[in-house]
Structure 1
Amino acid sequence: MTCYGVLHDFDNMGFQTPVRAFPGFRKAREGVARVLAPRELLKQELRAGDLLSLEGPGQGAALQIAVFDAAGRPALAALGLQPDAELAQETCDIAELLGWISVNGGDSAAGIPACTAKLTGEPLLLKAAAEVTAWICCPANREQLAFGGSAGNATVTWQPAASNTPLLPPLLGDTRDEFTVSRATAMSYEVKKGEIIQIIDVQGQQCSDFTAFNAAELQRGEEKMIDGTATRSMVRRAYPGPGLLDKFFDRDMRPLLNVVQDTCGRHDTFGLACTARGYEERGFPGHVNCSDNISESLSRFGIARRSAWPAINFFWNTWVDPHSHHIMTEESHSRPGDYVAMRALEDLVCVSTACPDDIDPINGWNPTDVHVRIYRPETPLRRAVAYREKEDAPMSISQNSAFHERLEPLTQHFAPARDLWAPVSFPSHGTTGEYWACRNAVTVQDMSGLRKYDIAGPDAEVLLQRATTRNVAKLAVWRGSYTLMCDEAGTVIDDGTLFRLAPDLFRWCCGSEESGRVLETLAQEMGLQVRIHDMRGAMPNLAIQGPKSRDLLRKITFTQPHVPQLDQLKWFGVTVARLNDREGAPFMLSRSGYTGELGYEIFCSKADALAIWDAVMAAGEEFGITPMGSAALNIIRIEAGLAAANAEFAPGVDAFEAGLGFAVDLSKPSFTGKAALERNAREPRRVLKGLLLGCYDVPLHGSPVYQGERQVGVVTSATRSPSLEHAIAIARLGVEHAGNGARLEIGQLDGRMKRLGATVTDIPFIDPQRKRARA
């Protein structure tokens, strides 16, 4: 491949050389700490001189380490280690490692030599003598995982060696070529159909303008390139992302590129690459600009020069202000090593820039380089987006769940659920069919995106009594309760179900990793003797929901006499069971769910996920079992009046305003946020209520609710109810306007030009006594 570059001298273009006045923006070589869950195998690429620090949950814990060179051969000596055992495959989820060994030419059928690292309370420090790949495992058997009481988490910290070369992300496959686009320049290049282009932000917060032309059309004299208007119209959003809406189109609506992976998720498709005129009108004549760079770089292909080039502006953070409708911008969200990977759907001529703008926040005020890799067509690359537990946490790429092998033949409609791909709907039944199956028969749903934490130790109850809003002292063994975590202002941090598996052992199933951080912080502040085990992706789970769910589970559930039997489980009861008989796969079984119907949830090891899925589907065949996706679940949970994060509860909304006061026990001696909630409970200003709409129009989240000309509330969730045969909404209303039967209006078209009449009612909309779930 030939690359044509524009070789401007960036420091002699008539403006001041950028200086690193904002040192906090560029963080390419800091240590990265990752938490290792039970049974998890962590892969870490190492270069010579890199350091690994291993720290366990307590004295006596042990990790297993396997190390390989680029050819898939064992290389423990590169970390100064000697093998003392084989990697215990029954105590870790090893499938990814076996696949990696095979792909890299090793023998995956042979035993895997490993070193057992016994952790004594002090970090174990290892230094790489060569370029290798390390795999670290926190061993645990499947029973420990499902039944509680696993060894806990370890922390693995990687510190890259000091280097003057850029720290690029690991290769995605077999590269055909790669090159760096130096700051303030552009480079054009050719790719063949099927090849993958990876555009990498080397140091973070650096915009890279990009466009592509159909090479065959260029040969015929037609300049058919990516068209931003056609693309936005076809994908119905500002920027295509991995999934169904993932393509860039030309003006004839022919797809040119398929977005496969995107680790940033914030880009611009509204404007042009920067232009000479744009700098001139702000007092910087002669400033190097991307449009001129693009023209010069593409000239060798006979492409006509333009003073302004429309482009996809990767890593440029823009948005449309919802009030002024102005296009806004600020520093990019991209971090060092963030990238976009796209598969060419035609032979293409492409151009990439490293934007020179140093007078706006576009490039973090400090333009840097962009790196481009071209991968061969046979490179296997799954769809993925980036996920971070919090803004400064290490990035992980979205994974397929443990049930994906069974889900993928049934649907291609997946969406990110935290760090996993979760099915949205199944075309064989459709969202409405899935809804009625849950109402009338039984459904199965992959809910593995839930977060699970085991809290163990003599002070576990003390910690949870402080952290949650219900009285944990009243929670019996083999029982669970829906509860909240709040901050000091009474704002809901997270909701979830807390199960008690033993006097000093609890399992918290929730929606956010912030729960785990809150528990860790409180435990340290209070000096408690307790461990918080983050189960991360080690415990996938299924929801079995609907009136036939108990009949299904009777066919496959085996329980020992010392734990509750299936038919003894009341609402929010929990037990431990096995598949079919005493030798079957272990799992935790709870009578819980998010549908308002009779339902159960199964929590198991990844190693047993497919066997459990197959057993559930086989046993459910006579009851008409139907897989269910997130779209149908959302309809059912709204009908059931169940709260969702960033809808009913959100920053600035306390537990009572979120409609979750039933989960707050103000008679408890103390818990975080109690004082604020006591005050707010005495004089509530807003409450959560239902709205019945006499039409099929479904208002959007955030739609204003009016009494005459005055806004008195806001819609938090809405759907079209198949059971009620009209639209319904959950809304947060001022108490003066929240009486049942009150007539209000939901504003559309800027809240003024169109109104939907609505009648205030209680929630749930269906089965207000929860008789279905209690049946």
Structure 2
Amino acid sequence: MDAVVTPPSAPAPGALRRHTVRGGGCEAFALKAGDGVTITDPEGLQSACVFAFDGTGEAGARLGLSGATAGPDLAAVIADAGASGIAAARLLAAHGIVPGAQKGRLALAAGPVPGGSVTLTAGADLLLVVAAPGRPMAPDAQEPPTDLLVTIARAAGFDDLPAPLAEPKLDLRVPAAEARALTVKAGDYIQIIDVAGRQCSDFLAFDAKALEAGEEFGLDATTTRTLMGAAYPGPGLHSKYFDARQMALVEVVRDTVGRHDTFALACSAKYYEDMGYPGHANCSDNFNAALKPFGIAERRGWPAINFFYNTAIEGSNALAMDEPWSQAGDYVLLRALTDLVCAVSSCADDIDAANAWEPTDIHVRVYDAREDFSKGIAFRMTPDAEPRLTRESAFHPRTSLLTRNFVEYRGFWLPAAFTGEGPIAEYWACRERAAVMDLSALRKFEVTGPDAEVLLQRTATRDIRKLTIGQVVYTALCYDSGGMLDDATIFRLGPANFRVVCGEEFTGKWLRDKAADWGLKAFVKSSTDQLHNIAVQGPLSREILSALIWTGPTQPAIAELKWFRFAVGRLGGPQGPALVMSRTGYTGELGFEVWCHPKDAVALWDAVWAEGAPKGLKPLGLAALDMLRVEAGLVFAGYDFCDQTDPFEAGIGFTVAAKEEDFVGKAALARRKANPARRLVGLLVASNEDVGHGDPVHVGRAQVGVVTSAAKSPILKAQIALARLDVSAAAEGAEVEIGKLDGQRKRIGARIVPFPHFDPQKTRVRA
């Protein structure tokens, strides 16, 4: 194997560039004669439809597809593709092509083997549209349209820039180790692109009107960090960069990297002189030259915002740095909040890892204020995956009317709390009446095929063979080491039909890889974008949903649905939108999750709200949910378990079944169970001072564990926590101390108690 695996960077001529066509969507690409295109179906059962144009009309023959089966009309594909269709139509329009009845060709049939592919060669300069067609999936069906991968090999090398987000007002290249200045009008967007990857870019912005009045007010990192409460702003509520007057100059709209620097100066002559490189090009001198026409005074070192620079202040109070995380084409999109004079550099540093030892170009695009770009942070399932920006759930049109307080959670914007309510009121609504929350960020995978049961029996810690149709089971998924990959609920829809609902996007790929390794005929199809869901939780949840949901005679009614069972029904009557209802939740209360296609989400929310509001139903955000789940002893990925934690150490050892068949991690789990090292316990904290995830737990001077989750429990009127402790210090009733500051200077007393802290017999959830 390679000694060093490096981050992806700009493809060289003849190299490959990958793109993702989302299930149900389409993408457009400009090809040159001789370019190769490979279309791959990574999940199986997904067709690929191709349209090719050479400027005179359809040119399927130029790709060797003249004999392929005809597909749908281009206009229908564009109309069904949502945002990706709009982007494709824009590129088509730029080439004078109006989507109409042009027929596509099925370049790839819905093959029975995941990973099927076809390779085509452009016989002329072409405009190519690749679609992943598919109809909306009903909640009780298992045929979601899924992603295609398009790999392009350029015959003559790559155009090294991603496609514009819209028609640019300005296209400006900043050559390696140089800087450029520009003016930007209020409301316009500024896109700063790392062309080749792993290249830092310093950014300056000044209030243009103040400059005209002889005053210099530019971005101020210290003011920004203080007002935003973070090292650097990001898309969402805390998104603005300020000047020393505490006036916002720009806001961050999109960020595909999420790793930047606002701690240090732009590189200066002194830095290189001190390192033994006098006369070295540097960003501060480059800025002085670029800004001179605007009358801005020179500085020896400019306090700049450095995008893509990978720095952090460590616990030892040292300023640490490493290679940037950015990849070719990554960008930050800003919006000017007033008229600005800006300067952008390509950092000149080639004497350390700041630019991966080789400075490369930065590119700047400016877009008109009339454009409308979604806010988002990039989510990548794997380091080399194409970034996907944070998306809104189908319930967002309703939740956004009730709050602006959204946080990024696993690639989705979800409410943290609701205006006029707040976490405490939301919490009590769930405990005493009912609450509704958006849980659409959960990942869903349809597992089908003759070997579906075998695949899940070999990967889940539960005995899946015992699962009956209409039943749900909670399970762990582990690596060979016994460490947890994920936790999940598994629904059995049929003899060879399952749905896995979990937290990690990677879980689907892991299951797919296992099926391939074992030669199983099982499909693992991503259905997250076809199934959005709310949870209706609380003592009145059954009453609310019973009035809304119709189930047929072969399905249990809401009032008959048992714990960890599900039913198929419809909203409002036999002709209403299709739903799946499961008696599951994450609150420790009687409750249900309701699953629908995104097109029906608003109707579902409105019906629940109309029926529930007179009964005291409230919306519930992530802050209140955290209190509820800690009280109920329900674990959370990244807090209460990780890949270093087995299910026993995570407090969910009950999910490890004593089944005869081998499964991933079985031997390691048997060894760990026989020789436990740590145990998850409940803590009753003897103080109202905040404790939280990561706080050390001590007996005397020695640290014996760590707090994994904590909350102030409204119903118990006390602060409680979950903690993972060494088994020697985990006896119920024992006194421990939670360390603050350095863990030694300040201690908060706590006692080990049983958990769940609230309703330990789960009488409420079983009601």
TM, length-normalised to structure 1? 0.91
Partner in structure 2 of residue 619 of structure 1: 611
| Counterpart Cα distance in 2 of 1:587 and 1:138 | 23
Distance 1:599 1:412, change over 3 A: same
Alignment of 1:247-262 (within 5 A): 247-262=240-255
Q: More displaced, 336-345 or 548-557?
A: 548-557
Alignment of 1:374-773 (within 5 A): 374-773=366-765
Deviation at 1:154, TM superposition (A): 5.5
Q: Deviations over 1:620-674 (max 9, x none)?
A: 2232222211111111111111111111101311111111111111344321111
Q: Deviations over 1:19-59 (max 9, x none)?
A: xx99865233633153754xx22334434455543345899
* 1:42 pairs with 2:34: no
Q: Deviations over 1:446-503 (max 9, x none)?
A: 1111111111122111111110101111111110110010011110100010011111
The equivalent position to 1:363 in structure 2, one of 351, 355, 363, is 355
Q: Secondary structure at the match of 1:723?
A: coil
The equivalent position to 1:227 in structure 2, one of 220, 226, 233, is 220
Partner letter of residue 175 of structure 2? S
Deviation at 1:138, TM superposition (A): 3.2
Deviation at 1:93, TM superposition (A): 5.2
Partner letter of residue 10 of structure 2? K
Partner letter of residue 344 of structure 1? A
Query: In the alignment, is the contact (CA less than 8 A) between 1:91 and 1:141 conserved in 2?
Result: no
Query: In the alignment, is the contact (CA less than 8 A) between 1:148 and 1:454 conserved in 2?
Result: no
Deviation at 1:249, TM superposition (A): 0.6
* 1:54 pairs with 2:54: no
* 1:31 pairs with 2:14: no
Q: More displaced, 384-393 or 604-613?
A: 604-613
| Counterpart Cα distance in 1 of 2:128 and 2:212 | 45
Partner in structure 2 of residue 305 of structure 1: 298
Q: Secondary structure at the match of 2:721?
A: strand
Distance 1:553 1:116, change over 3 A: farther
* 1:96 pairs with 2:80: no
Alignment of 1:1-12 (within 5 A): none
Deviation at 1:162, TM superposition (A): 4.2
Query: In the alignment, is the contact (CA less than 8 A) between 1:588 and 1:604 conserved in 2?
Result: yes
| Counterpart Cα distance in 2 of 1:136 and 1:301 | 49
| Counterpart Cα distance in 2 of 1:609 and 1:203 | 41
Query: In the alignment, is the contact (CA less than 8 A) between 2:26 and 2:77 conserved in 1?
Result: no
Q: More displaced, 163-172 or 532-541?
A: 163-172
Query: In the alignment, is the contact (CA less than 8 A) between 1:545 and 1:599 conserved in 2?
Result: yes
* 1:119 pairs with 2:99: no
| Counterpart Cα distance in 2 of 1:75 and 1:348 | 47
| Counterpart Cα distance in 2 of 1:104 and 1:251 | 42
| Counterpart Cα distance in 2 of 1:88 and 1:213 | 46
- Residue ranges of structure 2 left out of the alignment (5+ in a row): none
- Residue ranges of structure 1 left out of the alignment (5+ in a row): 1-20
Deviation at 1:164, TM superposition (A): 4.9
Distance 1:617 1:522, change over 3 A: same
The equivalent position to 1:350 in structure 2, one of 339, 342, 345, is 342
Q: Deviations over 1:150-191 (max 9, x none)?
A: 166453323153445642122122321111010111111111
| Counterpart Cα distance in 1 of 2:480 and 2:383 | 22
Distance 1:368 1:488, change over 3 A: same
| Counterpart Cα distance in 2 of 1:566 and 1:767 | 23
Q: Secondary structure at the match of 2:270?
A: helix
Q: Deviations over 1:750-771 (max 9, x none)?
A: 1122211111111111111111
Partner letter of residue 736 of structure 1? S
Q: Secondary structure at the match of 1:473?
A: helix
Distance 1:22 1:495, change over 3 A: closer
| Counterpart Cα distance in 2 of 1:209 and 1:416 | 26
Q: Deviations over 1:280-329 (max 9, x none)?
A: 1111111111111111111111111111111111110011222x221111
* 1:140 pairs with 2:125: no
Distance 1:515 1:374, change over 3 A: same
Partner letter of residue 9 of structure 2? R
TM, length-normalised to structure 2? 0.92
Distance 1:22 1:87, change over 3 A: closer
Partner letter of residue 699 of structure 1? V
Q: Secondary structure at the match of 2:691?
A: coil
Distance 1:265 1:24, change over 3 A: closer
Partner letter of residue 281 of structure 2? V
Deviation at 1:536, TM superposition (A): 3.4
Q: Secondary structure at the match of 1:518?
A: helix
What percent of counterpart residues are identical? Answer: 41
Q: Deviations over 1:544-601 (max 9, x none)?
A: 1111111111122122222333222211101211112222111221111111111111
Query: In the alignment, is the contact (CA less than 8 A) between 1:206 and 1:332 conserved in 2?
Result: yes
| Counterpart Cα distance in 1 of 2:52 and 2:438 | 33
CA RMSD of aligned residues (A): 2.9
